[in-house]
Structure 1
Amino acid sequence: MNADPSWAAKFLDKLELIILPRYNPDGNAYFQRTLATNFDPNRDHTKLVRQQTRDIKQWFSTFAPHIAIDMHEYNARSNYATYYNNAADGMYSAAKNLNIHPAIRELAETVFAPAIDASLKSKGLRGEPYMTASSRSRTPRLEEAGTDAKIGRNAMGLTQCVTFLFETRGIGIASQSFKRRTLAGLQMILGVLETARDQAETVYSTIESSIEELKASQEPIVVSDYSTYSNRTWTMVDTRTGDIVQLPVEFASTTPASPNKTVARPEGYIIPRAWFDLADRLKVSGLEVETLKEGFKGEVEAYNITSSVLGRSYYEGAVLNTVTTGTFTQEVSLPAGSFFVSSAQKNAGLAFVALEPENIDSYVSFGIVPMEVGDVYPIFRKI
């Protein structure tokens, strides 16, 4: 931008930009993806166990962008069907969580995603949706980016902004093809920025109106979802010849995912005073949390834990707890200093994924609220 101020001015007339050069500089000093503590910063977006995560989350929530980009690299050495490598110069994915307003997800998928792909192609580069492999056998099984909120892309998207993950070829190949890799990242960024600049009014009005609709919404909360496999081809490099080929694969698309379990949207959640640390986490995520000076007395919907399955090993410092629940209504009387989290707010989706116990990234799942069969979940739904 310094090299061409007139070009830069065309963006800055329409956009306010903040760039975080590196998310984990302490971990980078050890040449690792994870923080210096070996926690993965991109799996800490709901449990918020590291202060570094909390500081960045508060900074992000304060700026409250309409658009966010999360830049990563992918492993260039992964083989598929023995002889093939991913040929994409850039992989990209919008936020997929179904608690993001549908109009914002549609804006990302139908306006921004094609622009990203076109921006790559304009420089002779190749793009594909972001994927991971559940199988690399003769017919690889590839899975599109998921909906889980512990990952930055979805956590940022749940603030009701257009969010993209960008992945360029890089892990394991040192500085090889560095100029091409840098260009790929730049072109994906430009695909977003140029679209935001050229369609600023549409983008702004779509997001702002979606936020207002979300605040007034009575639509159910999506607690879990699924995707199904279908056949397609994937752009690969044949490592035996160097040729670019289209390899048949099975692909599980999350554009969009399909709802599995939904629950009625409550007026909000009531958190007893003893669980103040949950309120603190939600505030860090940009949620408005009301302290109830007079306490709370009334009828609520409560969950009881009907099954609990613990993981067999640690995941990011926690033994995951997968639970199922039943619901019942009861009268509760909670002391002054308890908390209320309204569903009628912009970042409510972050409360849904954290406070609904069956969600894959909930406080129950990560053991922040320990639960076993027969327990009553201590966070109540005001209905």
Structure 2
Amino acid sequence: MGERAVPVMLGDSLRALFIGNSYTQYNHLVHQVQAIAASSGHKLSVKLVEHGGWTLKKHAANPETLDAIREGNWDFVVLQDQSKAPAREKDWVRENVYKPAYSLDSLRRLYNPQGKTVFYMTWGHHIDTYAEMQQRLAESYLEMTHRLNAWCAPIGIAWKRIRTENPDFTLYNPDHSHPSVQGSYLAANVFCTVFFQKPYTSGYLAGLSRNEALYLQQMAQETVLSNLSLWNIQPSPQPEDVTRQFYPDPERKYTTPTLGKPVEEGLASLFEITRYLQALADKHSDKVTLANIGNTPQGREIPILYFGTAKEDKKVKVWMQAGLHGNEPAGPEAACLLADYLLGTPEGADILKKVSLALIPVANPDGYAFQSRKSGSGFDLNRDQSKLSDPVTLLLKEAYKEWNPEIALDIHEFSPFRKEFGRLRGSRATTAADVLFLPSGHLNISDGIRRLSNGLFREEAEKALAANGYNSGFYFTPHIKNDSLYAMKDAKSPQSSSTYQGLTNTVSLFIEIRGIGLGRTSFARRADCGFRVSRSLLETAAVHHKEVKKTIQKAVRETCAGKGDVFVTFQPTRTELPVSFIDLSKKERFTETLPTLDALQLKADLVRKRPKAYILPDSCPMQAEKLRALGIEVEKSRKAFTTTVEKYIVTEYRKADKEWEKIYPVTVSTRVIKEKKSFPAGSFIVRLSQKNANLAITLLEPESVNGFVNFGVIHTGRGQELPVYRER
């Protein structure tokens, strides 16, 4: 019934052996895989051994199949069982599916030790019991995948996603079992994504319309790339016994997008998250509004939930965002848990009497779709707070500016597994804390706001975490210097939203949940940590709303009055602090005291008198627009004028070394000269008698590590006069 053991060679290439039946033979699937790979820049040789209706049990006794595996040098050996077999009762499956799969995998390991077994997860038949059949297929194929340390090609999960999101799309042959051309093309794209693990756009369309083909390519890639640990392509680095001992999930049932569906289906898609939010908004239209702040470059919406309005002055206005990095999925789930709590409990209703909330569950939809840290345009959005290179950053800043919050929370996840930790005991170790707090010590943030952020709000959040059995600590990044490990603690850079928001005279919290790289491991625990912190923040805001408003009003008055000097550069204090870790070999918690650079205890290096205003000549409209996008008021002079200013002459300009170039691209030094200068009509004036003056200072002082000069928004070089002037 079709092609059998026919190799198609492309020279120096990867090699894939497909073993299956008519599901693998239909619509020349293996040739589709090869053609998609070729059009995407990859060479792939394929060979097919198939017999209609055959099971893996028959293949395990078939000389033709065994001889094909023994040929060796296969990068991938793909195993597909008969469509119904893995969906039968568990005992039967273990005897008649798992055993022959183990036998074929053992032969593959013997003759292809560098290769990988890939299980072809098929789909449920288009019948009344589709859901049950699909669930059993997913369970069986994933159990085999993990037991044999194989990979899984989750065609059945991609199939189910399309059935859910686009039910009119035709994936089945008229027999309701075999794949249509579209179904085979979907499967082929899943295989290519599994094999090469990178997004692509293929020009091979298999006779489909371009729109159909691109849609199927996208669905396949999102399904695979968003759950690499579930398919065992990038296994979770955390041993199961460590998870059971230190990071068990809470024992409760959930209805939120990821936790409310089977583990075998992985993380919720953007469609599922938006559907969940829409259902809440429809059910509670008197309490919440679901809106879209704009579309990403790849065309995805950025949903936002408004609990109340920005005009309710008696309430405390709070901004919360999650998913700014696309590979940090616990934050979006925590946001959904919070929305459900606010709308579905009496305690949530009480909070909303004193708090207005703008909630963005997924701030980086393009990144989330593929579980990629960066945006669809290739930017790290948490490093785009000054340069504003990504259109998504501009959309987020505009929404933030319109809401004008008094409190802000940004929910992130961090990677707990760092190679540097191996120096502590000579074996693998991991950060122990469930949640790390990342407050800002930036000296241009009001003292009162910093005290609320790192005092009242953080302390209450830590209590809430501890009450639920979670551990917390301070955020740090490990570094090696002179062969010793040290920690860089907390934030001072406006490239982190923790600092950016504080500079807008907002009480700012930023948390990192222990999670990057863990996939669905401890996912309920991680999401619950984010929920506990966000709930605590709202409860604290409701109870202390008068203190919050009073502190912010004072900070704004002092800012507008021009009190205090300008802190341009500063250095963290050197200290030693204890940090908790888990030894992955001994399965025990231990504490190590690390040399630490503490950014909450900053010492000023360069201090200047605060000017009345900064002036940019009419040649700087782009810089002026970026300032406005960040919520800074910029006037445009109607006529020419002359005033006394301080001008900057660049005395040093050098690029940072490789360790720091992404964070602090250049080092700049200047000398300041006082003179009388004339400016043409159309020049830009940034007066410091405004709420966001401290942000303007940080962006426009040339030595500032995350200012416009540092990030090339204002170009310069040694000996040049900068187009930024300080009016005194």
| Shared fold (TM-score, shorter chain, > 0.5) | yes
Question: 1:60: how far off?
Answer: 0.4
- Are 1:25 and 2:365 an aligned pair? yes
2:483 and 2:676 map into 1 onto residues whose CA distance is 58
Q: Indicate the residue corresponding to 1:359 in structure 2.
A: 704
Do the aligned partners of 2:438 and 2:491 also contact (CA within 8 Å) in 1?
A: no
Q: Indicate the residue corresponding to 1:37 in structure 2.
A: 377
The alpha-carbon distance between structure 1 residues 321 and 231, as it changes in their structure 2 partners (threshold 3 A), is closer
Do the aligned partners of 1:269 and 1:381 also contact (CA within 8 Å) in 2?
A: yes
Residue number among 282, 286, 308 corresponding to 2:631 in the alignment: 286
Do the aligned partners of 1:133 and 1:141 also contact (CA within 8 Å) in 2?
A: yes
Do the aligned partners of 1:95 and 1:162 also contact (CA within 8 Å) in 2?
A: no
Do the aligned partners of 1:88 and 1:126 also contact (CA within 8 Å) in 2?
A: yes
1:136 and 1:246 map into 2 onto residues whose CA distance is 21
Task: Decide which structure has greater helix share.
Answer: 2
The alpha-carbon distance between structure 1 residues 17 and 136, as it changes in their structure 2 partners (threshold 3 A), is farther
1:340 and 1:138 map into 2 onto residues whose CA distance is 49
Farther-moved stretch of structure 1 (237-246 vs 295-304): 237-246
Question: 1:5: how far off?
Answer: 3.5
1:218 and 1:68 map into 2 onto residues whose CA distance is 24
The one-letter code matched in structure 1 to 2:579 is: W
Question: 1:180: how far off?
Answer: 1.1
| CA offset digits 1:160-214 (Å, max 9, x no partner) | 1111111111111111111111111111212212211111111111111211112
Q: Indicate the residue corresponding to 1:241 in structure 2.
A: 586
Question: 1:14: how far off?
Answer: 0.8
Query: What pairs with 1:261-276 in structure 2 (closer than 5 Å)?
Result: 261-276=606-621
Query: What pairs with 1:145-224 in structure 2 (closer than 5 Å)?
Result: 145-224=490-569
Q: Secondary structure at the match of 1:331?
A: strand
Question: 1:310: how far off?
Answer: 2.3
2:686 and 2:361 map into 1 onto residues whose CA distance is 33
The alpha-carbon distance between structure 1 residues 67 and 39, as it changes in their structure 2 partners (threshold 3 A), is same
The one-letter code matched in structure 2 to 1:35 is: S
Do the aligned partners of 2:570 and 2:602 also contact (CA within 8 Å) in 1?
A: yes
Question: 1:382: how far off?
Answer: 0.4
Do the aligned partners of 1:94 and 1:162 also contact (CA within 8 Å) in 2?
A: no
Residue number among 336, 350, 373 corresponding to 2:718 in the alignment: 373
Higher relative contact order (CA 8 A, sep 6+): 1
1:136 and 1:72 map into 2 onto residues whose CA distance is 27
Unmatched tracts of structure 1, length 5 or more: none
Q: Secondary structure at the match of 1:76?
A: coil
The alpha-carbon distance between structure 1 residues 3 and 352, as it changes in their structure 2 partners (threshold 3 A), is closer
- Are 1:62 and 2:407 an aligned pair? no
Please say which structure displays the higher CA radius of gyration. 2
Q: Indicate the residue corresponding to 2:353 in structure 1.
A: 13
The one-letter code matched in structure 1 to 2:641 is: F
Do the aligned partners of 1:139 and 1:249 also contact (CA within 8 Å) in 2?
A: no
Q: Indicate the residue corresponding to 2:411 in structure 1.
A: 71
Q: Secondary structure at the match of 2:708?
A: coil
2:549 and 2:484 map into 1 onto residues whose CA distance is 42
Q: Indicate the residue corresponding to 1:114 in structure 2.
A: 459
The alpha-carbon distance between structure 1 residues 118 and 334, as it changes in their structure 2 partners (threshold 3 A), is same
2:480 and 2:467 map into 1 onto residues whose CA distance is 32
Q: Secondary structure at the match of 2:378?
A: coil
Identity of matched residues, %: 28
Q: Indicate the residue corresponding to 1:297 in structure 2.
A: 642
Aligned residues: 382
Residue number among 622, 632, 635 corresponding to 1:277 in the alignment: 622
Question: 1:229: how far off?
Answer: 2.5
Q: Secondary structure at the match of 1:142?
A: strand
Unmatched tracts of structure 2, length 5 or more: 1-340
1:3 and 1:277 map into 2 onto residues whose CA distance is 42
Q: Secondary structure at the match of 1:18?
A: strand
1:136 and 1:195 map into 2 onto residues whose CA distance is 40
The alpha-carbon distance between structure 1 residues 140 and 229, as it changes in their structure 2 partners (threshold 3 A), is same
The one-letter code matched in structure 1 to 2:400 is: F
Q: Indicate the residue corresponding to 1:345 in structure 2.
A: 690
Residue number among 322, 325, 333 corresponding to 2:678 in the alignment: 333
TM-score (norm 2): 0.51
1:294 and 1:201 map into 2 onto residues whose CA distance is 44
Q: Secondary structure at the match of 1:255?
A: strand
Farther-moved stretch of structure 1 (42-51 vs 127-136): 127-136
Do the aligned partners of 1:67 and 1:161 also contact (CA within 8 Å) in 2?
A: yes
The one-letter code matched in structure 2 to 1:110 is: G
Question: 1:315: how far off?
Answer: 5.0
2:491 and 2:389 map into 1 onto residues whose CA distance is 22
Q: Secondary structure at the match of 2:533?
A: helix
Q: Indicate the residue corresponding to 2:390 in structure 1.
A: 50
Farther-moved stretch of structure 1 (331-340 vs 242-251): 242-251
The alpha-carbon distance between structure 1 residues 67 and 331, as it changes in their structure 2 partners (threshold 3 A), is same
1:93 and 1:188 map into 2 onto residues whose CA distance is 13
The alpha-carbon distance between structure 1 residues 311 and 74, as it changes in their structure 2 partners (threshold 3 A), is same
Q: Secondary structure at the match of 1:371?
A: coil
Query: What pairs with 1:314-325 in structure 2 (closer than 5 Å)?
Result: 320-325=665-670
TM-score (norm 1): 0.95
Question: 1:312: how far off?
Answer: 5.6
| CA offset digits 1:223-266 (Å, max 9, x no partner) | 11111222221121121222222222222222232212111100
The alpha-carbon distance between structure 1 residues 137 and 377, as it changes in their structure 2 partners (threshold 3 A), is closer
| CA offset digits 1:50-84 (Å, max 9, x no partner) | 22111111110111111111111111322512432
Q: Secondary structure at the match of 1:326?
A: strand
| CA offset digits 1:129-163 (Å, max 9, x no partner) | 11111139996311112211122111111101111
Task: Decide which structure has greater strand share.
Answer: 1
Do the aligned partners of 2:342 and 2:351 also contact (CA within 8 Å) in 1?
A: no
Do the aligned partners of 2:646 and 2:725 also contact (CA within 8 Å) in 1?
A: yes
